Amino acid sequence: MTVRLSGRHVLLTGATGSLGRPLARELARRGARVTVVARGLGPLLELADEVRGHAVPADLTDLASLPDVVASAVAEHGPVDVLVHNAGVEAVGPFAHAGPGDVKRTVALNIAAPLELTRLVLPAMIARDSGSVVAMSSLSAVATFPGLSLYGATKAALSASMAGLRLELRGTRVRTLTVEIGPVASSMMDRIVEDPTSAAAFARARRTRLLRDLEPADVARSVVAAIEAGRPRLTLPRRAAPLAGLSHAPRAVVRAALTGVAHVTHAAPAVSVAPAASVAPAASMAPAASVARPAADGTTG
């Protein structure tokens, strides 16, 4: 089933990061109405103005603030049609060197926040029998590199949650997309190069031509195309897809043996659901940027 993005409401987290910005631009180029979420207010407002979207400044590690994030997005653009989990902590380095609070923050942003945001928007998607949940995971979810043990653990949990969600959504038109990507040109890669153990492992993978540095704009185009195509999984770089497939194959066999092909039946929720927002005919018709104003101290969460 293909997904039409023109006129659809996309909620994008981590919007001002190295991958978030090109994602927001590509979504807007396809005609989506974009709600961009990030911590820094200044860069967020600039991006919202560029893509003519709605800005919601928020610290997603504050799970109690997430209902307000969704409420602001829905108030501006209507029900969320596509939820893109792009925010994440890029934890790099030997786990023994992790500092106080590193585990809590990484788990909160990389897995707890995506789960909670999904919980908040999924019932309405099921009630409308339409929607997509997209998780920006990592190849470290299937083949963890030294120096990425904490990061890889959270990404593996994210991929696993999406696999389970996909099974639960059988029989509906709500789709999931798990994106498992390799190294992207970013500050995270700079830190990996600085860590000797991580750098050696990545250098070997590059020598075998299994990995190459990805350009954020190229990743964004591939991700948005995968959303529109209704694909359940995307591996980048594509040359790594066979190895990722080898990792997924045994689990697919076990999953089939344990779960069969039974569909999950979803009862309609007892609450009323607002109708979908009207569809804009083209990206140029999108409304001007808007912002959910933060607290008086300039931050939320």
Closest to 36 in 3D by CA, of 279, 47, 26? 47
Give the Cα separation of 137 and 85 in Å (integer).
9
Give the Cα separation of 34 and 281 in Å (integer).
15
Give the Cα separation of 7 and 287 in Å (integer).
11
Q: Is 211 left (phi over 0), alpha (psi -120 to 50) or beta?
A: beta
Helices 41-51 and 20-29, axial angle in degrees (round to 10): 20
Q: Which of 135, 138, 151, 161 is catalytic?
A: 151
Q: How are the residues of the chain apportioned to helix, strand and coil, as percentages rounded to the nearest 5? A: 50, 15, 35
Q: Is 116 a catalytic residue?
A: no
By DSSP bridging, strand 233-236 and strand 33-38 are unpaired
DSSP string, 41-81: HHHHHHHHHHHT-EEEE--TT-GGGHHHHHHHHHHHH-S-S
Q: Which two tokens stand for residue 264?
A: 């999950």
Q: 64 near 118, Cβ under 8 Å?
A: no
CA 62 vs CA 33, 34, 109: distances in Å: 25, 22, 9
CA dihedral sign, ordered 118, 62, 135, 165: negative
Q: Catalytic amino acids?
A: 151
